[in-house]
Amino acid sequence: MPFSSLGLPPDLLKVLSNQNFTEPTPIQQAAIPAILDGKDVLGIAKTGSGKTASYVLPLLMNLQTAVQLKNRHVNVLVLVPTRELAVQVKDVFQSFSRRLPVPVKTLAVYGGVSINPQMTALQGVNVLVATPGRLLELIDSNAVHLNSIETLILDEADKMLNLGFKEEMNRIISHLPQKRQNILLSATLSADLQQIHQVLLHAPLVIKIEVQEDSLEQINQLAYIVSAEKKGPFLRYLINQNEMKQVLIFASSVKAADAVVNKLRKNNLEARAIHSKKSQGGRNEALTLFKAGKLRILVATDLMGRGIDIDQLPFVINYELPRSPKDYIHRIGRTGRAGNVGDAISLVSTEELHHFEIIQKKMGKQVKLIDSESIR
């Protein structure tokens, strides 16, 4: 099924063609016509399935004929859990809207940086991508008004609710008009998401793209049994032995991520950490360098990993296992994307073996487990 069959206008089809988008993904096939029709949508699909474009494309089309609003009144509000995802979504809107006949101004706002430039930039904005806390600050400062919102999107809704944004979300929703289009997108359908689904959505089209067992076939998974005190040396051995030029490493906490980076640097391996304690400028710089292939090793926490989207990332390493099997899937899903094969390696201590068995059971896939002592 080509994009031309989904009701998108020639201008957008030309943009898609120029960017080598040939066929819509399953979530795009189902969501784009529904959003164009003004329906509420609940979309459940795995990370990397094209969820962002599934709402960006139809909303850009709708904005071509939208009524011009008063200054500081926006048409579309996208709520996201992290700064990195806010920038990523903003970039998608801008990349698809550059050559449209009616200009669409998109702005991403988030904490950790000065609020004053964001307040100034809000003039004439059509699409606002925001983290909840910074958005509430802007509302309290009368820098933006939400009573004209036509479409509300909650992107990564599962993470937003799990991260404790409920109170902030309730405050934001109280500023919105009752009559609006609502779009919720998530990688999973949790109890919290079902609850907010009942509150926010009106007769929604529910799109659930099932994760097929072969969806992980592009990822070569391997695990090593390594004692906690030997994980650092063994990690360095793997990076050097496999001549890894670009590798994303996941740690379980901010403290662990910084410790891994320090050990790598002491052993002449260029690495940076990306987590919530880093400045926004530092995070942006590290991510930009890593995506461009100018930084060899990036060490991330689970939350920050959501904003890392690279089509040809060759290696992901779990220095420590995540708490949730779903987070494990999200982690290794950073590699093996867009038809490319990737390698996902986990370092598992004896204390983590039982948890790793649970992860494999939930994933429905066995991972080869090797004793690290037998290969060195």
Tell me which residue has tokens 């599962």: 158
Residue 365's pLDDT is 87
Q: For all residues of the chain together, what is the average pLDDT?
A: 88
C-alpha gyration radius of the chain: 21
Residues 199, 218, single domain; the answer is: no
Number of domains in the chain: 2
pLDDT band at 275 (very low <50, low <70, confident <90, very high): confident
How would you list the strands of the sheet with 41-44, edge to edge?
Answer: 106-109, 127-130, 76-79, 151-155, 181-186, 41-44, 205-208
Range of the domain at 60: 3-208
Distance from C-alpha of 43 to C-alpha of 158, rounded to nearest angstrom: 11
Which of 208, 235, 262 terminates a domain? The answer is 208
Mean pLDDT of 264-274: 94
Residue 292's pLDDT is 87
Helix spans in 201-301 (H) = 231-241, 254-266, 280-291
Which of 208, 233, 263 terminates a domain? The answer is 208
Residues 243, 200, single domain; the answer is: no
Residues 74, 183, single domain; the answer is: yes
180-235 pLDDT tens trace: 999 999 877 666 666 666 667 888 888 888 655 445 778 899 999 999 999 999 99
Report whether pLDDT(238) > 60. Answer: yes
Residues 298, 234, single domain; the answer is: yes
Determine contact, residues 296/245, Cβ cutoff 8 Å: yes
295-306 pLDDT tens trace: 999 999 887 666
Residues 228, 143, single domain; the answer is: no
Residue 213's pLDDT is 42
Mean pLDDT of 231-250: 95
C-beta atoms surrounding 339 within 10 Å: 8
Residue with more model confidence, 159 or 109: 109
Distance from C-alpha of 355 to C-alpha of 35, rounded to nearest angstrom: 40
Mean pLDDT of 312-324: 91
Identify the bridge partners of residue 309 per DSSP, sorted by sequence position. none
C-beta atoms surrounding 141 within 10 Å: 13
Residue 315 belongs to a domain with what CATH number?
Answer: 3.40.50.300
Determine contact, residues 56/128, Cβ cutoff 8 Å: no
Residues 169, 314, single domain; the answer is: no
Residue 20's pLDDT is 80
Residue 148's pLDDT is 93
Mean pLDDT of 82-93: 91
Structure tokens at 226: 């390594």
Distance from C-alpha of 368 to C-alpha of 209, rounded to nearest angstrom: 28
Residues 143, 267, single domain; the answer is: no
Determine contact, residues 181/150, Cβ cutoff 8 Å: yes
Model pTM score: 0.66
Residues 144, 259, single domain; the answer is: no
Which of 182, 208, 234 terminates a domain? The answer is 208
Comparing 22-26, 39-43, 132-136, 302-306, the range with the smallest average pLDDT is: 302-306
Share of the chain above pLDDT 90, in %: 58
Residue 214's pLDDT is 41
Residues 145, 27, single domain; the answer is: yes
Residues 234, 198, single domain; the answer is: no
99-144 pLDDT tens trace: 899 999 999 999 989 999 999 999 999 999 999 999 999 999 999 9
Residues 187, 241, single domain; the answer is: no
Residues 241, 191, single domain; the answer is: no
Task: Give me the long-range contacts of 235-244 (CB less than 8 A, separation at least 24).
Answer: 235/260, 235/264, 235/317, 235/319, 235/347, 236/263, 236/264, 236/267, 236/269, 237/376, 238/317, 238/345, 239/264, 239/269, 239/297, 240/269, 242/315, 244/296, 244/297, 244/314, 244/315
